[in-house]
Structure 1
Amino acid sequence: MIIFVLFVVSSFIFLFTRYTRSQTRPPLPPGPKPLPLIGSIITMLQNKPTFRWIHRMMDEMGTKILCIRLGNTHVIAVSDPKIAREFLKEKDEIFSLRPDCMSGYMASGGYLTTVLVPASDQHWKKMRKMLATEFLSLSRHKWLKSKRDEEADNLLRYIYNQCEINSNVTRGVMNVRTIVQQYSSNTIRKIIFGSRYFGKGSPDGGPGQEEIEHVDSLLVILSYLYAFCVTDYFPLLRWITDFDGHERIVRKAVCTVRKLQDHLIDERIQQWKDGIRTNEDDLLDVFINLKTPILTRDQIKAQILVRLAQVLEMILAAVDNPSNGIEWAIAEMINQPRIFDRAIHELDSMVGRNRWVQESDIPNLNYIKACAKEAYRLHPVAPFNLPHVASVDTTVAGYFIPKGSNVLLSRIGLGRNPDVWDDPLTFNPDRHMVGDDEVVLTDYSLQMISFSTGRRGCAGVLLGSTMTVMLLARMVQGFTWELPPNEPYVDLKENHQDIMKAKPLLALVKPRLPHHLYPIS
């Protein structure tokens, strides 16, 4: 009887305290009314793709912060820079966790990496420090310059060869998406593995079947990372069913990537053990020879998978972020020849027509950088940044944010916010030209997101920015890009399932500099 009375009293105290707190604490951010236990999961499944449903609700409710409950998880979407800064600057320590999710676990080999590991614990701090000092430092960036230069030259060689080959076949019309993805993937493979190709490549200098398969699988991994998988909100279902098929798709893509690259890692490790290899030539060698901390074979494979998969903001989308941004930039510039002419004029003035633009020229190419930054603003690579998780109950912008909430900063909402940007849906690089200040691709005020900030921000800003600017600068300096015959304008429609350009950009391409400058096979 005493035990029963104590149970009733304690239950009453607990419920009364909970009720009292709920009456005194701030409200949750606005959002749809959730159902008991399951929240808004049914509505989410009826409104795919989820990111468009979320943004549509924000527009309909007239709010810059939205709360959706999926299972027991509160998903908080934000499209206001002031609120975003409160999350990632003022309360960065509270929101330095990542959610535990199926795709992140599988892509990172069981959270052996840095960016995807849920807790910012000692392992995360150790790996973050290692990446910052050993792989993404300024000295390492300089050490890898020759490899980036080689791929910048190969970009010219490939496009020039395509111009020669296609002049009689397709009259010079080329697929820009193929070009930009090849440069980005070649560069990241070169600096990590020391080789442009897994196989022999294509006879025309382009990617071979292995490289195409590799990039396609990496893009699949990225597209399904934190993709509102049902079992992420109902973990018990993971042991019962692959409810929406995400696990099968991610597992297949991860297996494909590892099939192509794991044997290279195993061979390289054995070469060092046998004394065949004695000098460090690429990042894989650096990984293998790390003394503090010593990485296991599985940790090396997981770290490299994450880099190449572009699923982290370490080397933010080394394949898809620069390539997506530059495809959109070229498309927008073709539709506005005035912008193209100004970019060409800057390159001719700052670099000339008798040599190729180099990385040392980047500080002087403000308009080229403004074009790239504007592409990142208007056409981000993903709808949201990687999610941040609240470690405790807190208050942001006057709203209650429960412990465990997943916070998503909207790249679309921030970059296209009409309260921040004049005429936000117009591609206008001039908006980034402020006085004599040097243009940079980052925006730490979070009025847009090209590379995220805070404890979980992108450590690979330098590499990502360099690749992006060099890709655009070489393409604009070396070639003219025009509409194909009988095409009045470039169609700028987005794909419904993501925010990539709905159709790959096709352009009429011609060399614009003296022919002796172009590298030849």
Structure 2
Amino acid sequence: MNATNATSLLTTFSSSTSPTTTVIALAATLLIAAVSILELQRRAAYKKASKNLPLPPGPKQWPIVGNLPELLRCKPTFRWVHGFMKEMNTEIACFRVGNTHIIPVLCPEIAREIYKKQDAVFSTRPFTMGTHEISGGYQTTAFVPYNDQWKKMKKMLISEVVSPARLKWLHDKRAAEGDNLVFYVHNQYKANKSVDLRLVTRHYSTNVVRKMFFGTRNFGKGMPDGGPGPEEIEHVDALFIFIKYLYAFCVSDYLPFLVGLDLDGQEKLVKYANSVIRKYQNPIIDERIKQWKSGQRHHMDDILDVFITLKDPSGKPFLTDDEIRYQLAELMAASVDNPSNAVEWAMAEMINNPELMKKAQEEIDRVVGKDRLVQESDIGELNYVKSCAREAYRLHPMSPFNVPHMSVQDTTVAGYYIPKGSHAVVSRYGLGRNPKVWDDPLKYDPERHMNDGDVSLLENDLRFISFSTGRRGCIAGVLGTYMTIMLLARLVQCFDWTPPPNGVDLNEAADELTPATPLTAFAKPRLAPHLYPTSA
């Protein structure tokens, strides 16, 4: 229905109704007219800027709202998007919601064009409800637009969090969590319990980050067997809820005037998760800031101390209290998903195929021996173990799409017109399973990554995504490698694994890419008894 027809109908309707109804009808008419004008302006702008190049192929779009109905109806959205692209046999597409063009990409060559050749054009991030929540109004790094604040925070993180000197300073905290991992799993064996490897991988990853940031593994008392207490479980669950819905095609991210209506239920979940994260982290931060300001604390022990004591050239605090709170929350959310998901999937594939597990154990026995536990210093020589993790990153990414990159100007990609403000979303799922790039792409095959040199979890050619690349890529690839390989290597080195009676479920969950059923298995020690830690 166009604006003229809508106005005629509403005028007829208002002649036989109350004054209040007439006002509502007139307001609706004005809204329809305004939106229609905006749609005409959008089309005119496209004709002017596109230079007759087409947009990438996409589904049929409704007037004004584009693919909004499908976004609300076809859940999970990422499976609908990938299904459509497979049906259309295209590696780049265009879905429009309101005035926003969403450009999913499945091809490494096109991904390199966006992340490398046109890195400056796609250098910023879109404003979304979730990123506004976690960043405190864009005071942080990973999820914020490209601006001076981003430059300030990124420079600080590179020098103060992930530099070689800082990672060396924090080594013992990571090592302590590797020992606690073995302690906990060994206790499950002694109690004749199966091991929930989703719980193990997620809590190890979060424990490492908590220890580096806050100097503690537990927000509460923890458990005597080294496992998480109720506080840590609530915190980790909230982190993964937030990660799941941060960029999950929330309707109000594309139509901001709908914020608050929560048409797809995502806003409530994101706000809840964010509140839980802050419930546990902010009191520690606030108390530590108070201790430094009062002179009660003088010694730096963790990243929180580093953030509080940083000074600018004039001697004033480099970070505000809010910047500290929000940056640590963002870092926590950005650090824990990749290692835990990759190792849960790698363990599932290796337990399901014992020959792969045997090869990994033989490599660790050859490089490390059986009279000590594997350490970070061994990682360089554990190429098969790294290949197992690398293959999990390829075949089983944590999220279907990488964090969106938004174009700051009109541009051309793969011969298609990409309007300013488009959200380019490179598919982790599609890259790693692209049959033009990978032979037998659905097979878990670590051997495909073995070569004559050192195996790395990084993938600079974007045949899959582990830690991304470019100016908006992950700056913590080394830390992510340490966390991933130490987690996988300790589980493989210290224990033999038996699947549960019903076997290993290698199916994906319906609405995300994690295993449909959390991986459980029985662990049996394979090293001398004295090598297993006796306390957390």
TM-score range, shorter chain: over 0.9
Cα deviation, residue 204, structure 1: 2.1
The equivalent of 2:499 in structure 1 is 483
Aligned partners of 1:19 and 1:75: how far apart in 2? 15
What are the Cα deviations for residues 244-291 of structure 1, in whole angstroms up to 9, with x where unaligned? Answer: 222222111111111111111111011111211111100000010111
RMSD over aligned CA atoms reads 1.5
Specify the alignment match of 2:33 in structure 1: none
Change (3 A) 1:17 1:507: closer
Aligned to 1:504: 518
1:277 aligns with 2:297: yes
Q: 1:249 aligns with which of 269, 281, 284?
A: 269
Q: Deviations over 1:149-199 (max 9, x none)?
A: 11111111111112112x2xx4xx221111111211111100000001011
Distance 2:196 2:44 in 1: 63
Q: Which amino acid aligns with 1:512?
A: R
**How high is the TM-score relative to the length of structure 2?**
0.89
Distance 1:308 1:214 in 2: 10
The one-letter code sitting in structure 1 at the alignment partner of 2:63 is P
> What is aligned with 1:197?
218
1:154 counterpart = 2:180? yes
Q: Is the 8 A contact 2:189 2:522 kept in 1?
A: no
| Superimposed CA distance per residue, residues 94-137 of structure 1 (whole angstroms, 9 cap, x where no aligned partner) | 0011000001101111111111112x111111111111111111
8 Å Cα contact 1:75/1:408 also seen in 2: yes
TM-score, length-scaled by structure 1: 0.92
What stretches of structure 2 of length at least 5 have no aligned partner? 1-40
Matching residue's letter, 1:139 = A
The yes-or-no answer on 1:174 pairing with 2:202 is no
Structure 1 segment 225-264 matched on structure 2, within 5 A: 225-238=246-259, 241-264=261-284
3-state secondary structure, aligned to 1:66: coil
Give secondary structure in 2 for the equivalent of 1:65: coil
Instruction: Label 1:519 to 1:397 Cα distance change in 2 as closer, same or farther (>3 A).
Output: same
Alpha-carbon distance in structure 1 between the residues aligned to 2:45 and 2:105 = 27
Per the alignment, residue 42 of structure 1 pairs with 69
* 1:313 paired residue number: none
Equivalent residue letter for 2:352: N
Distance 1:505 1:19 in 2: 49
The AA in structure 1 aligned to 2:77 is T
Residue 110, structure 1, aligned to residue 130, structure 2: no
Is 1:400 equivalent to 2:414 in the alignment?
no
Letter in 2 for 1:284: L
- Give the drift of 1:25: 2.8
Is contact 2:139-2:150 (8 Å) kept?
no
In structure 2, how many angstroms separate the alpha carbons of the residues matched to 1:199 and 1:30?
Answer: 52
Q: Which runs of 4+ in 1 moved over 3 A?
A: 14-24
Matched residue SS, 1:510: strand
Q: Secondary structure at the match of 2:80?
A: helix
Give the corresponding residue for 1:338. Answer: 355
Identify the residue that residue 124 of structure 1 maps to in structure 2: 150
Are 2:326 and 1:302 aligned?
A: yes
2:206 is the alignment partner of 1:219: no
Measured at CA, do residues 86 and 517 of structure 1 come closer, stay the same or move farther in structure 2, by a change above 3 Å? same
Contact in 2 for aligned 1:83/1:397 (Cα 8 Å) = yes
Kept in 1: contact 2:71–2:251 (CA 8 A): no
Give the one of 82, 85, 95 matched to 1:55.
82
1:317-336 equivalence runs, <5 A: 318-336=335-353
Aligned residues of 2:508 and 2:514 also touching (Cα < 8 A): yes
In percent, how many aligned pairs have the same letter? 54
Q: Could you list the runs of 5+ residues in structure 1 that have no partner in the other structure? A: 1-13, 311-317
Instruction: Report deviation, 1:20.
Output: 6.3
Is 1:441 the counterpart of 2:457 in the alignment? Answer: yes
1:99 is aligned to 2:123: no
